Amino acid sequence: MTDLMVTLFNGLSLGSILLLIALGLAITFGLMNVINMAHGELIMIGAYVTFVMQNIFINYIPEQYFDLYFILSIPIAMVVAAAFGMLMEVSLIRYLYKRPLDSLLATWGVSLLLQQLARTIFGAPNVGVKSPSFLEGGVEVGSMYFAYPRLFILGLALVCLAGIYLYFYKTGNGRRVRAVMQNRQMAECLGVSTRKVDLITFAIGSGFAGVAGCALTLLGAIGPTIGTNYIIDAFMVVVVGGVGALFGAVAGAFGIGFFNTVFEFWTNASLGKVFIFLLIIAFLQWRPSGLVTTRSRSLD
């Protein structure tokens, strides 16, 4: 029973990490149909923002306020990553809508550029970010141990998911976004500024990638290629959940996290990853459109 509970928690923890990483991609790829290969580098930007905030607090802020650096890093990482996303959208992405292969190649080039820029500024070796004191340790329940950082990431993922839901389904701007994504021409006829919607939506997706990068600093060292390690998993979550389905991404993240943990428990990390890929391939043969399909009356 203990092994089962630990395995379930590990699966839930991995699923929350995948969800936090994939939320931004679910917006830019799932809703906007833009294959953004630079999504991992937006995650990297959020991680390095946290690293810079840590150094600012170490060098210029009294020690008793050190823990505040991480709390401030979350919104700042979101704003900085969103600003980079807006710059990408204005200078590049806006010319590549409905051209998925071109957007893939262009954003891949941007990802290489951002990686090299990070190496130039921060150096090639990985750097460490010290966790705040309130996230050190964990909760012991009998013989089980639940680490605070993973519990925090789970809570942060749920808060971000709730924020995205409230924005897209409970606000006027969110309704405009969904209208543009479902039928751009009709939304334009009704007076919706599709250019503004595209810019804001891409900025939101990029901002959540920055939040994911901030959270990943709790799990280990960060480097210029930190985003590359997660970009494939993020695309898997979005595709399995269903392109354009926000809550499909939730089911995909926790499903992949659970099965990946189970396979690793039975075998090892390498074989576990192989089995999860085989499972996803088999699943997509059965449901090519993913777990959740978006019904529409528009003719494609």
Assess if residue 291 is contained within a domain. Answer: no
For the record, the structure tokens of 119 come out as 């190496």
Positions in the chain whose pLDDT score sits under 70 = 1, 30-31, 243-244, 293-300
Residues 6+ apart with CB under 8 A from 117: none
Calculated CA dihedral for residues 185, 186, 188, 190, nearest 10 degrees? 170
CATH number for 106: 1.10.3470
pLDDT of residue 79: 96
Residue 218: closest CA among 25, 8, 11, 51: 51
Assess if residue 299 is contained within a domain. Answer: no
Residues constituting the chain: 300
Q: Report the 10 Å Cβ neighbour count for 229.
A: 12
* pTM for the model: 0.89
Assess if residue 294 is contained within a domain. Answer: no
Assess if residue 166 is contained within a domain. Answer: yes
Assess if residue 175 is contained within a domain. Answer: yes
CA distances from 83 to 33, 78, 159, 193, 219 (A): 20, 9, 22, 20, 25
Dist. CA 170–CA 38, nearest whole Å: 29
DSSP 61: S
State which H helix or E strand residue 144 sits in.
strand 144-147
pLDDT of residue 299: 45
Assess if residue 247 is contained within a domain. Answer: yes
* Cβ pair 73, 131 in contact under 8 A: no
Distance of CA 279 to the CA centre of its chain: 22
State which H helix or E strand residue 203 sits in.
helix 194-216
Assess if residue 297 is contained within a domain. Answer: no
The separation between the first and the last C-alpha atoms of the chain, rounded to the nearest angstrom, is: 50
Dist. CA 110–CA 123, nearest whole Å: 19
| Number of structural domains the chain divides into | 1
Dist. CA 181–CA 144, nearest whole Å: 45
Give me the domain span that covers residue 131: 2-286
Assess if residue 39 is contained within a domain. Answer: yes
